Amino acid sequence: MVYVNSRRQLGVETILSNRGNLGKNVIRCLPVLCISLFMMIGLGCGKDAANQNGANHNNAARVEVMVEPARLGEIRTTIHVTGTLKAAQETKLGTKVPGRIEKINVDEGDKVDKGDALIVLEQTDFELAVRESEAAEKNAKASVSVAKVSLEKANRDFERFAKLHKQSVVSEQSYEDIDTAKRVAEEKLKLARAGLAQAAARSDSARQRLSDSVIRAPFAGVVVGKMANEGEFVAAGGPPLVWLMDLSTVKVDVGVPEEQSGKAGVGQDVRVSVDAFPGMTFTGKVITVNPRVDAGSRSFNVQVEIENSDTDYFLNSGMFARIALITGLKPDAIIVPDEALVTVKGKRLLYVVENAHAKQREIKTGASDNGNVEILSGVKPDELVIVEGNWALSDGQEVTIVRPGGAGK
């Protein structure tokens, strides 16, 4: 029994001793096991993250784009220039006569017809001057009439005395006296007529001053400035009182490069766009071409006129304008929309779709017209050109073609 119990006790002690050694070994290996476990977990997570990032990269690389085929068609050749619109005619009106402003009949923005009274000066003094001058003219006319009567009498007396003188009935002295009286009557008539002319001139001047006391519109137009007020005294030849513009047509002077001198001519059609009305195009014509080339700018002046009758899209003086002078027509040009062109590192490029990939093409462009551009080299007709989604592309990138409405192809 003792033996048995001793063996059992020995077995128990052995087991406990082995367990103690095992625990010590486990404790010793624990750091290595933890590091290994963390590495396995890290590798697993890294692989999953890499797979996920790869998937995301593939999804980001495929870009939805819209395309249009390059096509053959007509395109106008144009010269593109810029300028500032101005009124067909304009004037700043002052007064020819001094006076006090009695009435201003217009305000800024008012439309007026030719001959309308814009500003009226006080009329009393001018009307009095007219009446006085007319009275003086009337007196001068009466003096002429009296002088005529006197001369007629002197002529009759002279004729009678001349006959009597031939008959030696009257003395030589009497004949000379009557001759002198006739010549005096003639001079008096001349003086009377001169006085009448002066009186008539004064009368005309007074009437003109009365007329000038009313400032009238020299042409139909729009009042764009009023620089005076009622009650002010204004001087003849002083500062302008009203600014008037005729905007029924507008003009623009543009400088055309000298190398284009053979392409611009009177009567050519032009297209005009202004920032005030985006998307709108106005039409006009070249009305003058100045052949003199400015030595500083190396350009010559061309004047364009644009009809301005549309009240909804009314062009005003001072607007910045972009002008396209139409110089010719190409019937079979390769055409793509302006939106297809991008600039990469200073180069003009576009992208075409080949086997679901965006392929970069360097191009040479020609004329541009109405939202389209001519391609001289780099693209063939019917190739699918990317017109939307092209700014973020890189050469060879996968793309998905979409149509308006989102339908995939």
Write out pLDDT tens, residues 333-374: 999 999 999 988 888 899 999 999 999 999 999 888 878 899
Report which listed range, 39-48, 238-247, 254-263, is most confident. 238-247
CA–CA separation, 306 and 302 (whole Å): 13
Using CA atoms, how far apart are residues 291 and 300, in angstroms rounded to an integer? 6
Question: 283-287, 302-306, 352-356, 370-374: lowest mean pLDDT where?
Answer: 370-374
Per the CB < 8 A criterion, the answer to whether 271 and 369 are in contact is no
The one-character DSSP state at 242 is: E
Beta bridge partners of 83: 321
Residue 57 confidence (pLDDT) above 60: no
Q: What residue type is assigned to position 105 of the chain? A: N
Q: Is 169 helix (H, G, I), strand (E, B) or coil?
A: coil
Which of 59-73, 197-211, 212-226 is predicted with the least confidence, judged by mean pLDDT? Answer: 59-73
Cα-atom radius of gyration of the chain, to the nearest Å? Answer: 51
C-alpha dist (Å) from residue 224 to 90, 167, 221, 243, 281: 10, 85, 9, 6, 25
**Residue 204 token pair:** 């005309």
Spatial separation of the C-alpha atoms in residues 97 and 93, rounded to whole Å? 12
**Which residues 6+ apart lie within 8 Å of 275 measured at CB?**
319, 320
Of 327, 261, 328, 320, give the one whose Cα is nearest residue 289.
Answer: 261
Q: Which are the contacts of 309, defined by CB distance < 8 A and separation ≥ 6?
A: 248
d(CA 321, CA 241): 30
Please give the domain boundaries of the chain with CATH numbers for all domains: 63-73+332-401 (2.40.420.20), 80-86+246-331 (2.40.30.170), 99-216 (1.10.287.470)
Which CA distances in Å does 341 have to 245, 347, 371? 42, 10, 11
User: Which tokens go with 57?
Assistant: 């990269």
Q: In whole angstroms, what is the distance from residue 270 CA to residue 81 CA?
A: 11
Q: What is the pLDDT of residue 176?
A: 85
Tokens of 170: 């009257």
Q: Which residues pair with 66 in a beta bridge?
A: 388
Of all helices (H) and strands (E), which one includes residue 156? helix 124-166
Say how far apart CA 189 and CA 195 lie, in whole Å.
Answer: 10
- Please provide residue 161's backbone torsions phi and psi, each rounded to the nearest 5 degrees: -70, -30
User: Do the strands 399-401 and 63-69 form a parallel or antiparallel pair, or are they unpaired?
Assistant: parallel
Total residue count of the chain as it appears in this document: 409
140: pLDDT strictly greater than 70 = yes
Calculate mean pLDDT across residues 206-220.
96
The DSSP line for 270-327 is EEEEETTSTT--EEEEEEEEEEEEETTTTEEEEEEEEE---STT---TT-EEEEEEEE
Region class of 218: left (phi > 0), else alpha (psi between -120 and 50), else beta: alpha
Band the pLDDT of 404: cuts 50, 70, 90. low
pLDDT for 357: 93
pLDDT of residue 331: 87
Confidence (pLDDT) at 160: 85
Instruction: Determine the distance from the C-alpha atom of residue 154 to the mean position of all C-alpha atoms in its chain, rounded to a whole number.
Output: 77
Rounded distance, CA 26 to CA 224, Å?
Answer: 100
pLDDT over threshold 70, residue 43: no
Q: In this structure, what token pair is assigned to residue 173?
A: 């002295």
What single-letter DSSP state applies at residue 33?
Answer: H
User: Are β-strands 111-112 and 347-354 bridged in parallel, bridged antiparallel, or unpaired?
Assistant: unpaired
pLDDT at 55 over 80: no
Quick: pLDDT tens for 165-188.
788 777 888 878 888 999 999 999
